[in-house]
């Protein structure tokens, strides 16, 4: 089986490849299809964005496509940054700028009000229009400063209490057992095994 991952995010791609390893699936990315259109993520939900990406890439490539839209939802910010996680600090934002903006917004927020969750929505779309949407969520809280050098995105700020570390302090194997993406991909593995 060949599966196109509709992303250019190398961090996401690496995690997805690692979690799907051993299933006999040949994983390709948008880098393997240079003429693929750049999908504008203008949906109001993770689901809308994931489906839009998967549909457009499946139509263009004629292959089974998996799209992921994920982000961080912070309780004290009424769920922000949410679907704007990647561009939270502006159009040309990067991980550092996004993390710094989040820390600044939460600087006076006490620990008990720093609850957050990572959400991952996966959309699997076949060229003939069969669609499956799967969701994974992991709860944690926002640390008072960036900790750890692994991972990407908001991993240095996302404190996961069961292991008393941020996602960026965890090794990839450990993170891939508990992350929002791992939880959604576990559901995908079950679905593909049927």
Q: Is residue 19 classed as helix, strand or coil in its secondary structure?
A: helix
CB 52, CB 39: distance < 8 Å: yes
Q: Please tell me the distance from the alpha carbon of residue 143 to that of residue 157, in angstroms, as a whole number.
A: 5
Q: Exactly one of 32, 42, 68, 69 is catalytic; name it.
A: 69
With a CB cutoff of 8 Å and minimum separation 6, the contacts of 179 are 15, 118, 120, 136, 138, 167
Class of residue 79 by CB neighbours under 10 A (exposed 0-12, middle 13-18, buried 19+): middle
Q: How far apart are the first and last CA of the chain?
A: 14
93 upstream amide cis, omega within 30 of 0:
no
Tell me if residue 155 is catalytic. Answer: no
Active-site residue set: 69
């Amino acid at each position: 089986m060949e599966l196109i991952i509709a992303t250019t995010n190398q961090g996401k791609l690496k995690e997805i490849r690692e979690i799907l390893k051993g299933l006999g699936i040949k994983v390709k990315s948008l880098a393997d299809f240079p003429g693929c259109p750049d999908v504008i993520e203008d949906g109001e939900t993770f689901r809308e964005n994931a489906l839009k990406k998967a549909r457009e890439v499946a139509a263009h490539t004629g292959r089974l496509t998996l799209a992921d839209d994920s982000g961080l939802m912070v309780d004290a910010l009424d769920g922000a940054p949410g679907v704007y996680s990647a561009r939270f600090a502006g159009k040309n934002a990067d991980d550092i700028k996004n993390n710094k903006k989040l820390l600044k917004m939460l600087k006076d927020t006490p620990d008990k009000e720093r609850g957050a969750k990572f959400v991952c929505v996966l959309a699997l779309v076949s060229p003939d229009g069969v669609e499956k949407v799967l969701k994974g969520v992991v709860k944690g809280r926002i640390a008072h400063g960036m900790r750890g050098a692994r991972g990407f995105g908001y991993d240095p700020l996302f404190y996961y209490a069961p292991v008393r570390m941020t996602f960026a302090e965890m090794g990839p194997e450990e993170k891939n057992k508990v992350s929002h993406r791992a939880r959604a991909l576990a559901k995908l593995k079950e679905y593909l095994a049927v």
